[in-house]
């Protein structure tokens, strides 16, 4: 059996692994040179660092690996996205390193209009969530732009319609940035145009536009798909120049319609939005000018009337100059007298100055004489005399202080004695011994009963305060009655001391 097995093995052709892999590769590529595969993208994580993209296409029963080379990725109309159903065009091949087969994709497109709309809605939701559609971030268009930038195809009818309408309404400078408005490079070229216009300076040889118009004629969803690019929408949203979107007809819409500062229904409508009508402006300006001239004329007439009315109320020139003339005449009459008085004053000042000079001369002479005399005198007697006078002055000062102290002591003792005498003679001391001072209502002291009247108000001053009283009797003291002997002899009658 071993010999038979050896012979059977020797009759079979031997292949290396590489040969088998190469044969399979040629077979697969020859049989499936160009294919279109429909499936759902799975495992997509974005392009590799090399620029190639690796993922898989799958349906409910199978899956196939897929690769998109870097050069093909740049030409794709759509970027692969996870879970997106697509139709991939390419060729099948094998990958010997893993003994599997894969499709090398040359073109990629969504599987039908429904997929395109789903992708578009998903992009729209994402951009809206970021706030790119908010009305608050959109800028107002300039009322009278000087330069308009147009991003469109230079050969289509769109640019001619825009320029024609601008010339009819308000001729001004138009800058055209030529781009392809359909195809794989549309989004990239329009994005570069928007960024390029924003990169221009105000003082450069080509002035930066005041407003941009991104325009294209109508078409199908696939034809307008380049204007639904997310990168283009972000470029329009980030533009420092206000952007008017005029892509397609009024019923068409793209992503840049939502992020642009203004959407026009047609490219012609974009031109009408961008510039006003010059004739209307001229008519408005003429009307405003006429109104201004009429208003100025009426205001001037009113001012003239006010001036005339004020002039009637003003005094005449003679009346205004009467008082100044009178003052001038008075000043003229006083001028001669003033000059005479001034001359006399100047003379007196001169005489005083001469007398002062003479006085100072005498003082200087006397001072010099005193200085000469002082130099001849010896200072010793003067010093002794000064010392004696100082000692005498000190003695007198000391005696004065002693006399003053004794005088103060005598005055202080006299004051103390007078105060003691005042306290003794004061009625306060009498009040303190239990007496009271009677005064009438006016505060006058009552010394006798005859000064009282029955019912009179009295003020009683005690040592510790005042009190009020009413006199029940008053007048002169009644005469004493003579003692009756009969009454004295009456039994039980005690008699009277008076």
| Averaged pLDDT for residues 95-114 | 78
Q: What is the H or E stretch that residue 64 is in? A: strand 63-68
- Is pLDDT at 483 greater than 80 in this prediction? no
The most confident of the ranges 218-222, 330-334, 476-480, 484-488 is 330-334
What is the rounded distance in angstroms from the CA atom of residue 107 to the CA atom of residue 44?
16
pLDDT value, residue 115: 65
Give residue 486's pLDDT band: very low, low, confident or very high (50, 70, 90).
very low
| Averaged pLDDT for residues 463-476 | 78
**Phi, psi (deg, nearest 5) at residue 496:** -130, 150
For residue range 260-291, what is the model confidence (pLDDT) as tens digits?
999 998 888 888 888 888 777 788 888 899 89
pLDDT value, residue 497: 43
Closest C-alpha to 137, from 273, 274, 259:
259
For residue range 207-241, what is the model confidence (pLDDT) as tens digits?
899 999 999 888 777 778 788 888 888 999 989 99
pLDDT value, residue 490: 45
Report which of residues 351 and 493 the model is more confident about: 351
Spatial contact of 145 and 275, defined as CB atoms under 8 Å apart: yes
pLDDT value, residue 425: 76
Between the alpha carbon of residue 334 and those of residues 104, 340, 344, 421, the distances in Å are 123, 10, 15, 77
- Is pLDDT at 6 greater than 70 in this prediction? no
Mode of pairing for the β-strands spanning 457-462 and 465-470: antiparallel
pLDDT value, residue 491: 47
- Is pLDDT at 319 greater than 80 in this prediction? no
For residue range 129-179, what is the model confidence (pLDDT) as tens digits?
888 888 888 889 988 899 999 999 988 888 898 988 888 888 888 999 999
**Phi, psi (deg, nearest 5) at residue 144:** -130, 85
- Is pLDDT at 480 greater than 90 in this prediction? no
């Amino acid at each position: 059996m071993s010999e038979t097995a050896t012979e059977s093995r020797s009759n079979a052709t031997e292949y290396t692994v590489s040969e088998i892999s190469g044969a399979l590769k040629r077979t697969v590529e020859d049989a499936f040179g160009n294919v279109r595969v429909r499936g759902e993208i799975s495992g997509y994580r974005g392009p590799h660092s090399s620029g190639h993209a690796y993922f898989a296409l799958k349906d409910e029963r199978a899956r196939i690996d897929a690769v998109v080379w870097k050069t093909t990725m740049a030409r794709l109309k759509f970027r692969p996205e996870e879970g997106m159903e697509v139709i991939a065009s390419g060729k099948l091949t094998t990958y010997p390193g893993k003994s599997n087969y894969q499709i090398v994709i040359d073109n990629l497109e969504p599987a039908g209009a429904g997929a395109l709309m789903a992708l578009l809605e998903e992009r729209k939701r994402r951009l809206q969530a970021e706030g790119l559609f908010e009305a608050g971030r959109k800028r107002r268009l300039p009322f009278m732009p000087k330069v308009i930038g147009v991003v469109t195809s230079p050969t289509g009818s769109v640019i001619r319609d825009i320029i024609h309408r601008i010339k009819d309404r308000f001729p001004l400078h138009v800058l055209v940035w030529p781009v392809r408005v359909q195809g794989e490079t549309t989004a990239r070229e329009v994005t570069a145009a928007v960024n390029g216009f924003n990169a221009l300076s105000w003082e450069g040889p080509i002035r930066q536009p005041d407003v941009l118009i991104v325009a294209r004629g109508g078409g199908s969803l696939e034809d307008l798909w380049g204007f639904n690019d997310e990168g283009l929408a972000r470029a329009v949203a980030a533009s420092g120049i206000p952007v008017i979107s005029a892509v397609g007809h009024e019923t068409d819409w793209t992503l840049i319609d939502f992020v642009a500062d203004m959407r026009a229904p047609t490219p012609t409508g974009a031109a009408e939005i961008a510039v006003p009508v010059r004739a209307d402006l001229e008519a408005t300006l003429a009307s405003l000018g006429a109104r201004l001239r009429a208003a100025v004329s009426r205001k001037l007439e009113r001012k003239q009337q006010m001036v005339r009315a004020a002039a009637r109320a003003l005094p005449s020139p003679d009346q205004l100059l009467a008082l100044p003339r009178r003052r001038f005449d008075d000043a003229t009459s006083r001028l001669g007298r003033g000059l005479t008085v001034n001359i006399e004053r100047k003379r007196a000042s001169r005489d005083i100055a001469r007398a002062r000079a003479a006085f100072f001369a005498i003082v200087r002479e006397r001072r010099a004489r005193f200085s000469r005399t002082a130099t001849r005198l010896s200072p010793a007697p003067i010093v002794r005399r000064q010392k004696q006078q100082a000692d005498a002055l000190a003695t007198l000062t000391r005696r004065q202080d002693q006399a003053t102290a004794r005088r103060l002591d005598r005055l202080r003792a006299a004051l103390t004695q007078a105060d003691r005498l005042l306290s003794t003679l004061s009625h306060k001391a009498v009040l303190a011994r239990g007496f009271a001072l009677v005064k009438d209502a006016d505060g006058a002291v009552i010394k006798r009963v005859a000064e009282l009247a029955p019912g009179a108000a009295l003020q009683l001053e005690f040592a510790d305060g005042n009190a009020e009283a009413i006199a029940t009797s008053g007048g002169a003291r009644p005469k004493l009655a003579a003692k009756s002997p009969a009454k004295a002899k009456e039994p039980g009658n005690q008699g009277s001391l008076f």
